[in-house]
Amino acid sequence: METRELRYFVAVAEELHFGRAAERLGIAQPPLSRAIQQLERRLGVTLLERTRRSVTLTEAGSVLLREGRAALDAVDAADRRTRRAAPAAGPPKLVLVTKAGAESERLAKLLDAYAAEPDAAEVDVLLCGPGEQERLLRDGRADVGLLHRPFDSTAGFDVEELGTQGQVVILPAGHPLTTRPHVTTAEVAALPGLPLPRWPGPDGRYPDGPGPKVRDNTQLLQLIALGRACSILPESAGTYLADDLAAVPVPDAPQVTTVIAWPPHTHSRAVATLVRTATRL
Amino acid sequence: METRELRYFVAVAEELHFGRAAERLGIAQPPLSRAIQQLERRLGVTLLERTRRSVTLTEAGSVLLREGRAALDAVDAADRRTRRAAPAAGPPKLVLVTKAGAESERLAKLLDAYAAEPDAAEVDVLLCGPGEQERLLRDGRADVGLLHRPFDSTAGFDVEELGTQGQVVILPAGHPLTTRPHVTTAEVAALPGLPLPRWPGPDGRYPDGPGPKVRDNTQLLQLIALGRACSILPESAGTYLADDLAAVPVPDAPQVTTVIAWPPHTHSRAVATLVRTATRL
DNA sequence: GGGCCGTGATACCGCACGGGTATTTATCGG
DNA sequence: CCGATAAATACCCGTGCGGTATCACGGCCC
């Protein structure tokens, strides 16, 4: 199976539409149809059920979509890591990825402590939305990440735990609940006029529901300040709040574990040092 | 990057010889030379240092060898898992891999218990040499495996611990040490005429050293019975020994942890049930 | 030191296959 | 029943992969 075929199939499986998939791939529709047919013939498996009006994935198709994405990520990782290992790419750098707006104090301390190490490499920090970090680690755009269980999946990575924390609800300043010492998740879910916001899924689409759509932490905090939403976040997100926001502990929300994660089989002195530094903080 | 290019590069990197690599790939040498040149040009990276007499890997080449193998395994896994998910492949089967000669009682109990589950799938058991299991799990030939830490690497897999055990030294029956209640690793290493055997590495080659070469457990036990070697193995390997062998505990050898491991992101009811069954034994 | 072997690179050729355009076919909606 | 939509089919062209023949160069042996 060639990566070209995999890319084609993944595009069709995601769009469920040959025309749009072809456009996305920058080729015409007929060659795409042929390529998929050929892939199905070579595998001996029907991947797509086409009625004249719609395209759906078969069971085997779903498997190939999931496995194919993983395989393409691995190929991309091989490409990127090889380029970066070239002498012309300069001294080795380290790309650390974390969720925008989270872990700022821990991150600052970590970067300082790491920079003090004798053989420290330069560290690029990549901030991204929720759910994107795993992808970046898998396809080689990042070397190491700070993740938060149970929100982020650490499946397939090597991991060290760095600490746990409770969660708080972020509310507009002056909201009645802000006088309380703590609240429950049930109370938060039932707050009139302050729905929990919706985050985009891995496919970039938003789930259905009442809450406003948000893409990053800034948007979220702004919406809360405006009294249009509230949100349950790890304590560390509630330490430095603007005056128009307030945090109240939610003891019955699940504990959040911060972990440092990196792809397995990483043979990088820099990653090892960074992880060691992080666990010693 | 196409998988064809990756396969070609991995072959050359492993053989460090264009002619042999071409033969292994079933193509002529000139197209292979060209393909590698083209790959280097497209990546903008020198992967191989060729003097007229020898081929060696550059730093970037080693990275691509490691990452490329992983990527090819992922592609192979996608292929195999897709074929097996096809309706024509019959009802879903489960392939369980473990080291030949190890864990026989635990394995028997597990298979019995699993077969009693209401939605049990048929289980194929694959026995293989040390160090091969990880490969089989990564490239999709197996769904789940029984591994032994610290011997087997569990990097990149999801894992549940099943138990720990000490280790014993297997000796020819009648050997003086067999009268002792326990021995030390140092004593075992120094046994005159009974060297520890050599196992093949991942590349199929044997490390240098005095011990005899062995490929599997049967060979090993036969060599020990013949008085040509001895070996330190987990207790469970010493429970059912032939009359011509004896086991003595080695308390200072590291504890062995048996784990059940499976590829991350597995969405298989059968694997989940098997893992649950295993943890409950 | 000269010839030879081993080995990777180059030159050149043919064909398979990937991609494009034009057209057909089938199905759903009105 | 017709038109719109979307996938499949027909056909053509060019790229690029693979093969054979050959070259260039380094080491080795006598």
Nucleotides of D under 7 A from a protein CB: 5-11, 17-22, 25-27
Residue B216: its pLDDT value, please? 83
Q: Is the bond preceding B150 in cis, omega lying within 30 degrees of 0?
A: yes
Specify the pLDDT at position B236: 87
Given a cut of 70, the residues of chain A with pLDDT beneath it are none
Cβ neighbours, 10 Å, residue B64: 29
- Asked if residue B129 has pLDDT above 90, the reply is no
Confidence of residue B112 (pLDDT cuts 50, 70, 90): very high
Q: What is the pLDDT of residue A278?
A: 96
Q: Is A53 on the interface with B (CB under 8 A)?
A: no
Q: Which of A63, A140, A156 sits opposite B82 (nearest CB)?
A: A63
Integer Cα distance of A89 and B1 in angstroms: 19
d(CA B274, CA B261): 11
Check residue A103 and give its pLDDT: 81
Q: Which chain B residues are closer than 8 Å to A66 by Cβ?
A: 265, 267
Question: What average pLDDT does range B38-49 have in this prediction?
Answer: 93
What pLDDT score does B192 carry?
Answer: 85
Chain B closest CA to A61's CA: distance in Å?
7
- pLDDT tens digits, one per residue of A147-158: 999 999 999 999
Whether the per-residue pLDDT at B199 is higher than 90: the answer is no
pLDDT digits (tens, 9 = 90+) for B147-156: 999 999 999 9
Protein-contacted bases of chain C (C-beta within 7 A): 6-12, 18-22, 25-28
- Token pair, residue A205, equals 């689409």
- Name every residue whose Cβ is closer than 8 Å to that of residue B32 and which is 6 or more positions away in sequence: B8, B11, B12, B18, B21, B22, B25
* Closest by Cβ to A3, choosing from B2, B79, B158: B2
Which residues in chain B are closer than 8 Å to A67, comparing Cβ atoms? Answer: 74, 77-78, 81-82, 140
- pLDDT at residue A65, rounded to an integer: 95
pLDDT band, very low/low/confident/very high, at B240 (cuts 50, 70, 90) = confident
- Higher-confidence residue of B90 and B136: namely B136
* The pLDDT of residue B202: 74
What's residue A154's pLDDT? Answer: 93
How much is the pLDDT for A110? 95
The pLDDT value given to residue A134: 94
Q: Report the distance from CA of residue B203 to the C1' of nucleotide D4 in Å, as an integer.
A: 60
pLDDT digits (tens, 9 = 90+) for B260-271: 999 999 999 999
DSSP string across chain A: --HHHHHHHHHHHHHS-HHHHHHHHTS-HHHHHHHHHHHHHHHT---EEEETTEEEE-HHHHHHHHHHHHHHHHHHHHHHHHHHHSGGG-S-EEEEEEETTS-HHHHHHHHHHHHTSTTPPEEEEEEE-TT-HHHHHHTTS-SEEEEEETTS--TTSEEEEEEEE-EEEEEETT-GGGGSS---HHHHHT-TT-PPPB---TTSPPPSSSSPB--SHHHHHHHHHTTS--EEEEGGGGSS--TTEEEEE-TTSPPEEEEEEE-TT---HHHHHHHHHHHH-
- Best residue of B2, B46, B59, B75 to probe chain A, by most A CBs closer than 10 Å: B75
Q: Looking at residue B85, what is its pLDDT?
A: 92
Residues 225-264 of B with CB under 8 A from A: 263-264
Confidence of residue B252 (pLDDT cuts 50, 70, 90): very high
Q: B155 in contact with A at a CB cutoff of 8 Å?
A: yes
Closest chain B C-alpha to A30 CA, distance in angstroms: 22
Q: Any chain A CB within 8 A of the CB of B269?
A: no
Using a CB-CB distance cutoff of 8 angstroms, which residues of chain A are in contact with residue B67?
A: 74, 77-78, 81-82, 140
Mark yes or no for CB contact B88/A44 under 8 Å: yes
Is the predicted pLDDT of residue B203 greater than 80, yes or no? no
pLDDT of residue A232: 92
- In this predicted structure, the answer to whether residue B195 has a pLDDT above a threshold of 80 is yes
Question: Which nucleotide is closest to the Cα of A8 by its C1'?
Answer: C18
CA distance A269 to chain B (A): 14
The tens digit of pLDDT for each residue in A221-230 reads 889 889 888 9
Residues of chain B in contact with residue A264, where contact means CB-CB under 8 angstroms, are 155-156
pLDDT, position A50: 87
DSSP collapsed to 3 states, chain B? CCHHHHHHHHHHHHHCCHHHHHHHHCCCHHHHHHHHHHHHHHHCCCCEEECCCCEEECHHHHHHHHHHHHHHHHHHHHHHHHHHHCHHHCCCEEEEEEECCCCHHHHHHHHHHHHCCCCCCEEEEEEECCCCHHHHHHCCCCCEEEEEECCCCCCCCEEEEEEEECEEEEEECCCHHHHCCCCCHHHHHCCCCCCCCECCCCCCCCCCCCCCECCCHHHHHHHHHCCCCCEEEEHHHHCCCCCCEEEEECCCCCCEEEEEEECCCCCCHHHHHHHHHHHHC
Query: Per the CB < 8 Å rule, is A6 touching B81?
Result: no
B205: pLDDT strictly greater than 80: no
